[in-house]
Amino acid sequence: MDKEFFAAALQAREKAYAPYSDFAVGAAVKTAGGKVYTGCNVENASYGLTCCAERNAIFAAIAAGERRFASLCVVADTKEPVAPCGACRQVMREFGIDRVILANCAGKHLAMTVEELLPYSFGPESL
Ligand code: THU
């Protein structure tokens, strides 16, 4: 695994706003040009408004004008590498982020494609 990329996700996790679940998540997304954007989960007293770390990282990159991505790394303090939620898998699919590194804080990780995470998916070409 790319150590710096993992470290960026781990560092982003430190900023998580998760007073309700106490489950902090960090994510980093790398553009095709090699730039890294990060995100953490941000919860809300109106629970359903919570936004995951992965989407916050992707949306930060999009808001900065990025459109082409190489990979995403997500990390949480889990026994096994953390599994991204379904909504985040769909957003990764939207932007063609094919290589996804799932990790835990100890560095245990695995790499998966979005096709593996979200088979037979609906995407931009489906319209
Ligand atoms: N969470 C993420 O940030 N990413 C995921 O893929 C799974 C869930 C967050 C949302 C919420 O703040 C907390 O983890 C517990 O669900």
Residues flanking ligand 1, CB < 6 Å: 18, 21, 23, 25, 41, 43, 50, 52-54, 84-85, 88
pLDDT at residue 54, rounded to an integer: 98
pLDDT at residue 1, rounded to an integer: 77
Mutate to test the pocket of ligand 1, among 40, 42, 85, 104 (most ligand atoms within 8 A of CB): 85
pLDDT at residue 107, rounded to an integer: 97
Pick from 90, 80, 101: nearest CA to 30: 101
pLDDT along the chain (127 residues), means of 10: 95 98 98 98 98 98 98 98 98 97 98 98 97
Cα–Cα separations (whole angstroms), residue 110 to 1, 35, 101, 105? 9, 22, 6, 13
**DSSP of 42-56:** B--SSGGG-B-HHHH
